[in-house]
Structures are given as structure tokens and as C-alpha cells.
Amino acid sequence: MGARLRDRALTALGVVSDGGSDSLESRSGASVGSVRRAGGERAFLKVVPASAGAMSLANARNELRFYRELAPVVPVRVPRLIDGWEDGDGVVLLLTHAGEPREAASWTPELWATLGRDLAALHTMPPPAAAGWERPDPLLAALDDPDLPGITAFWGDALPQLAVLLSSAAEFRRRMEVPPPVFRHGDFHTDNITHRGASLVFCDWQTAGVGRPSTDLAFLSVRTTPGGTVVPPAFVDAYLAHRPVAVGDRAVWERALVAEELATLLWLWPPFAAYNDAEGIARVRHRARALADRFLYPKERSPDPTG
């Protein structure tokens, strides 16, 4: 069905493949690829067939809604929706081409600071008044119903503090939920940020909605850690400098980021270990041990989430 829907979309939208093969997003089941419009302009075609499953379809509908309702007003740069629809076969989006992503290792401190500033702008906008922007929260669901065998199998020998941490789910939630909810991107990492000149463009809004701001900030580090890139202090510094954070509240934010990143690694990351090599897994385990020390002994170690 995916190929059929894509062929129908190409015909209906009057676009042709740009020559490269489409990629398949493992999480969403979406077929994504570069196309050319009648005038030769590059565009980006995303197709999510009904066969991708209920969750993938819900995320695709959420993204289509974002581009229709919120893209014109969010205070960050995003691709423009040229056309799109949903029907019994799935969801189709045709978006303007918005540049290319760069490997996280190549980012300069200035780019990280720009990203922090832009994310702060997104989180500062008033959450949408319309209903339906509350999205499922996989981390809170995992805290309520953890896969203890999988967690223990991956972390048991690598994290001496595991038993104490697993018994501290309520404390994780308390720290993460101190900063008030915002409109968040929901899948915030460098592969979803494209570069167009000196500007950064935020892409892939499938899981956007109202939730914890720490989700976006912490997930950035979760995604860069296996590849060996440490998100520099310039990112968090710029973010907090552009948020209305009261003097003395920085420590609260940093405790929230430590809790969010560590909880994500403990409760959600083990199934993704198979997609990483031994070196990447070792980096994640090293990062978790450092975060565990900061979580358990905040007075003895700096809570700085970027160190």
C-alpha cells in the first residue's frame, strides 16, 4: 500500500522523484524523499500508509495538523506545507525543501547557541488553546509500567546504582515536572534540524504537542551521546538566557534535565541498543553513570547536564 499511495501522491501533486531512493523512517513507517515540482523547485514528500499502523497514522495526522494550524505562527523556522491530505490509504505531506542536516560533531558553539535560543522561543510561545495537542508520553508510561527484565538485562552490570534508581520513579517525575508545560517539538535532535544559510529549520513535527520542556532539551543529548558528541554548555546557556527564568531557578532546570535524560536512558533506551555499535553503547553507559551520580548526590557533584 505504501508504494501505491506514494505513486498516487506523485501524480496528484504533479511532482517527480528527485532521483534518489526514498528512505523509510523506522519509527513512523513513513516513506520520505526529495521530489521536484513542475517548475523545477525541490520539495520534500512524506507518505505514511495506513499499513504503518495506528500510532504512525496518528503521528502523521498530528504533523499535518501542525503544518495547517501552527506552522504559520510558531516562532521558529519550519518548512512550508505545499499540499497534503489524509484518507483511507494514509497521510501525505508535500513540504518545501528546507536545507540539509549536518552531523552533530560538525556543529560549532555558535550553532548550538542558536539552537538553544530558537528552542527557547518555541517553548515560550503560548500553548495552543485548541484541544487535542496533548500527546502520549512514552517516558511517563514506562515509569508507570517498566520493562524490568529488559532494563535489568541491559543496565544490571553496567550501573551499580540501578536498584536505587528504579525505586526512585516518583522522584524522577517530581524533578522533571517542576518546569511548567510548554508546546514542545517532541522529537528534538540534530537530524531533525536542517541548515539553510545561517538559519536553522525545525523539521519532523509528528510528536509535537504540549508537555515537559525538559523532554526536548534532554533528548538532544540522548541522541548525540552514542556518536560521541557532547552537547556543549552553550546550548543550555542560550536556552536559559532566552527563557523567563527567575534568578536562582537555574538549578531547578538543571535537575529536571538530569532527571529527564537519565530516566530516558534507563527506562526507554535499552531496546535501541541493538541499533548501535559497542562503542556507542559504552558511551551511553558512561553517560548514564555520570548522570546517576548527579541525580543521587546533587550536593557533591555539579548538576550541569552538559558536562
Statement to judge: residues 123 and 180 lie in one domain: yes
In a domain, 306, yes or no: no
H-run or E-run covering 184: strand 182-184
What number of other Cβ atoms are within 10 A of residue 274's Cβ? 7
Statement to judge: residues 140 and 42 lie in one domain: no
Angle at 114 between CA 203 and CA 234, to 5 degrees: 120
Residue closest to 63 by CA, chosen among 44, 76, 46, 49: 46
What number of other Cβ atoms are within 10 A of residue 273's Cβ? 17
Last residue of a domain, one of 97, 113, 137: 97
Statement to judge: residues 49 and 128 lie in one domain: no
Region of 29 please: left (phi>0), alpha (psi -120 to 50) or beta: left
Instruction: Read off the pLDDT of residues 247-294 as tens digits, 9 standing for 90 and up.
Output: 558 889 999 999 999 999 999 999 999 999 999 999 999 999 999 999
Statement to judge: residues 77 and 209 lie in one domain: no
In a domain, 304, yes or no: no
Statement to judge: residues 70 and 130 lie in one domain: no
Statement to judge: residues 113 and 49 lie in one domain: no
d(CA 14, CA 35): 10
CATH number of the domain that 32 lies in?
3.30.200.20
In a domain, 301, yes or no: no
> Global pTM?
0.93
pLDDT in tens, the chain (307 residues): 678 999 999 999 999 998 765 564 545 567 889 999 999 999 999 999 999 999 999 999 999 999 999 999 999 999 999 999 999 999 999 999 999 999 999 999 999 999 999 999 999 999 999 999 999 999 999 999 999 999 999 999 999 999 999 999 999 999 999 999 999 999 999 999 999 988 999 999 999 999 999 999 999 999 999 999 999 999 999 999 998 776 558 889 999 999 999 999 999 999 999 999 999 999 999 999 999 999 999 865 544 555 5
Last residue of a domain, one of 44, 78, 97: 97
What number of other Cβ atoms are within 10 A of residue 144's Cβ? 11
* Interacting residues of 238 by C-beta distance below 8 A, sequence separation 6+: 112, 113, 114, 115, 116, 117, 120
Q: What total number of domains does the chain contain?
A: 2
SS3 assignment, position 16: strand
Cell of 147: 520493562
Structural domain of residue 62, as residue ranges?
Answer: 1-97
Statement to judge: residues 66 and 86 lie in one domain: yes
Statement to judge: residues 118 and 91 lie in one domain: no
Last residue of a domain, one of 97, 129, 153: 97
d(CA 209, CA 63): 10
* Interacting residues of 226 by C-beta distance below 8 A, sequence separation 6+: 276, 280, 281, 283, 284
In a domain, 307, yes or no: no
Instruction: Please give the DSSP secondary-structure letter assigned to residue 200.
Output: E
Say which residue the cell 525545525 belongs to.
202
Percent composition of the chain: helix, strand, coil (DSSP 3-state, to 5): 50, 15, 35
CATH number of the domain that 193 lies in?
3.90.1200.10
| Beta-sheet strands, E only, within 25-164 | 31-36, 42-49, 81-87, 90-96
Statement to judge: residues 85 and 142 lie in one domain: no
Residues of the chain with pLDDT > 70, as a percent, come to 92
Statement to judge: residues 61 and 207 lie in one domain: no
